[in-house]
């Protein structure tokens, strides 16, 4: 199915994905809601890049059919990863936008962005 040799750009991209994932994990382990959301944004980029790499890197022509032709002559880049990544970016953007509004409302109403201080919905603590 995939016969092409790996492109030399693959390794740097993979390392970048690793770095982004590490940064995101560190951010998301924080108790601060804003850091968690920033981590979500960074991790989203790492995941989108991995979809891009999973579609294989090539240096062929863009997958656009010329106006006066029915098909593309010769090898062309895989068009699917772009479509997938675009969709994923849009969805990620929507989710992040909602989450940020929610964090803002949470800050206004609950007076904190620290997740360990948000206990309104939890049962009251037992007095020891």
Partner 1 sequence: MSSLILRAGTRILAPMMIMLSLFLLWRGHNLPGGGFIGGLVATSAIALQGIAFGPASMRRTLVFSPAVIAGAGVLIAALSALPAALAGLPFFTGLWLKLDLGNGAVLPLSTPLLFDIGVYLTVIGGVCTLIAALEEEPALDDVETGG
Partner 2 sequence: MMAGWLAAFVLVVPILSTGATTLAHGVPRLQGWLSLLGSYLLLVVSVALLVVVLRDGMVVLQSGNWAAPFGITFAVDSLGAVMTVIAAITGAACLTFGLGEIGEAERRAWFHPLSHVLLLGVCGAFLTGDLFNLYVWFEVMLIASFGLMTVGGTKAQIDGAVKYVALNLVATLMFLLAVALIYGLTGTLNFADIARSVPAVSNRGLLTAAATLLMAAFGMKAAVFPLFFWLPAAYHTPLVSVSAVFAGLLTKVGVYALIRAFTLLFTHDPGWTHTLLLWIAGLTMVTGVLGAAAQTEMRRILSWHIISQIGYMVMGLALATPLGLIGSVFYLVHHIIVKANLFLIAGVAARLTGSMELKRIGGLYRSAPWLGVLFFIPAFSLAGFPPLSGFWAKLVLVRAALEIGSWWIAAAALVTGLLTIYSMTKIWAEAFWKPHPAGESAARPLGEAPTVMLLPISALAAGTVVIGLFAQPFYVVAERAALELLDPASYIAAVLGGAR
Q: Are 109 and 33 in contact (CB under 8 A)?
A: no
CA 15 to chain CA centroid, Å, is 16
Q: Is 103 exposed, middle or buried (0-12, 13-18, 19+ CB in 10 A)?
A: middle
Does position 122 bind partner 1 by CB under 8 A? Answer: no
Nearest-Å Rg of the Cα atoms of the chain is 21
What is the per-residue binding string for partner 1 in 61-90, x denoting contact by CB under 8 A?
A: ---xx-x----------------------x
CB atoms closer than 10 angstroms to residue 61: 12
Among 11, 54, 104, 117, binds partner 1 (CB under 8 A): 104
Does position 55 bind partner 2 by CB under 8 A? Answer: yes
Kindly state the smallest distance separating residue 59's Cβ from partner 2, in Å: 19
| Residues forming the site for partner 1 (CB under 8 A) | 64-65, 67, 90, 94, 97, 101, 104-105, 108-109, 120
């Amino acid at each position: 199915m995939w016969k092409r040799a790996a492109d030399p750009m693959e390794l740097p991209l993979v390392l970048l994905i690793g770095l982004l994932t590490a940064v995101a994990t560190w951010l998301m382990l924080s108790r601060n809601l804003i850091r968690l959301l920033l981590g979500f944004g960074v991790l989203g980029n790492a995941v989108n890049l991995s979809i891009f790499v999973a579609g294989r890197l090539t240096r062929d022509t863009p997958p656009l059919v010329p106006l006066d032709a029915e098909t593309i002559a010769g090898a062309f880049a895989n068009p699917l990863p772009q479509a997938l990544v675009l969709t994923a970016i849009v969805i990620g953007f929507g989710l992040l936008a909602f989450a940020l509004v929610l964090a803002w409302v949470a800050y206004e109403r609950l007076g904190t962005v620290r997740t360990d201080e948000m206990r309104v919905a939890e049962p009251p603590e037992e007095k020891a």
